[in-house]
């Protein structure tokens, strides 16, 4: 997984305009990094406003994402390192016999967990991506899902730049977002809304849902992608 420092460096060291799709790839990487255990780079990016500034350089939150100023406010709300770490652990780490109070694993929100993970792995393997033996997160973790979408959108941007076919990449994004991430993000949002004591993670999940919804619309409409059959992952 890319750390928040690497993701932010991609944006602010860039000297040439990024295409719309490449910018989306940057956003997916940023969201995935923010959903990992917090570090000092993340704290600095929140408190300095760098995180919010970078995201707003790509999206008009209200126009593009239907995300209000209040809903996004937590992305730049002042917070200490210790408070953010405590909030992350309280929400997303195992603190009850039933697990975390806000699970970031898709298979704990819908369907059979093993089947959900197998479906994720089939998506990854279709694009010759394989989970390493030592992994930071399981295949159905939200940050892993976002890293996969980052990969697909990066590949799409490369294909567009080099006049190569993009429909299979758009289909994969459309199918993965609709079948999996959007299938459970509401449930995660509701639990974070119930238990969060600080605004950062609720704003982050709301932003993630808004970006996924926007991207689903984009890939579903681009080149009549909605009329294209789903990928055969069997």
Q: What is the model's pTM?
A: 0.86
Confidence of residue 233 (pLDDT cuts 50, 70, 90): low
Contact (CB, 8 A) for 71 and 206:
yes
CA neighbours closer than 13 Å in the CB half-sphere of residue 150: 18
Round to whole Å and give the CA distance between 141 and 87. 18
pLDDT of 64 over the 90 cut? yes
CB of 147 closer than 8 Å to CB of 123: no
Q: Which of 159, 170, 148 is nearest to 226 (CA)?
A: 170
Q: What is the pLDDT of residues 21-41, one digit of tens each?
A: 889 999 999 999 999 999 999
State yes or no: pLDDT of 58 exceeds 50. yes
pLDDT in tens, 112-124: 999 999 999 999 9
β-strand partners of 99? 96
Query: pLDDT of 176-187, one tens digit each?
Result: 999 999 999 999
Does position 84 have pLDDT exceeding 80, yes or no? yes
Least confident range from 39-48, 94-103, 217-226: namely 217-226
CATH dotted code for 4-227: 1.10.3480.10
Output the pLDDT for position 138.
Answer: 87
Give the lowest-confidence range in 50-59, 98-107, 139-148, 222-231. 222-231
Is residue 48 pLDDT above 60, yes or no?
yes
At residue 17, the pLDDT reads 28
Domain parsing of the chain, residue ranges? 4-227
Q: Compute the average pLDDT of residues 198-213.
A: 98
Q: What is the pLDDT of residue 87?
A: 97
* Beta-carbon contacts of residue 17 (< 8 Å; ≥ 6 apart): none
How far is Cα 102 from Cα 184, in angstroms, rounded to an integer? Answer: 12
Q: Is the pLDDT of residue 131 over 70?
A: no
Of the two residues 16 and 164, the one the predictor is more confident about is 164
- Give the pLDDT score at 221: 84
pLDDT at 73 over 70: yes
Share of the chain above pLDDT 70, in %: 82
């Amino acid at each position: 997984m890319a750390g928040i420092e690497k993701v932010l460096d991609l944006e602010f060291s860039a000297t040439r305009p990024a295409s719309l799709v490449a910018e989306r790839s940057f956003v997916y990487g940023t969201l995935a990094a923010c959903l990992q255990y917090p570090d000092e780079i993340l704290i600095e990016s929140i408190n300095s406003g760098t995180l919010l500034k970078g995201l707003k350089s790509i999206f008009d939150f209200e126009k593009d994402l239907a995300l209000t100023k209040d809903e996004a406010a937590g992305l730049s709300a002042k917070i200490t390192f210790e408070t953010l770490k405590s909030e992350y652990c309280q929400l997303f780490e195992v603190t009850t016999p039933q697990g975390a109070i806000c699970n970031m694993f898709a298979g704990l929100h819908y369907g059979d967990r093993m089947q959900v993970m197998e479906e994720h792995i089939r998506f990854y393997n279709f694009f010759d991506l394989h989970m390493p033996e030592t992994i930071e997160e399981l295949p159905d973790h939200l940050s892993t899902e976002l890293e996969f979408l980052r990969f697909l959108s990066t590949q799409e941007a490369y294909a567009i730049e080099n006049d190569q076919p993009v429909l299979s990449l758009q289909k994969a994004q459309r199918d993965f977002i609709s079948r999996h991430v959007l299938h459970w993000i509401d449930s995660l949002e509701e639990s974070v809304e119930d238990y969060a004591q600080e605004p950062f993670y609720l704003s982050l999940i709301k932003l993630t849902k808004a970006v996924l919804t926007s991207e689903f619309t984009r890939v579903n409409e681009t080149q009549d992608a909605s009329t294209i059959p789903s990928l055969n992952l069997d």
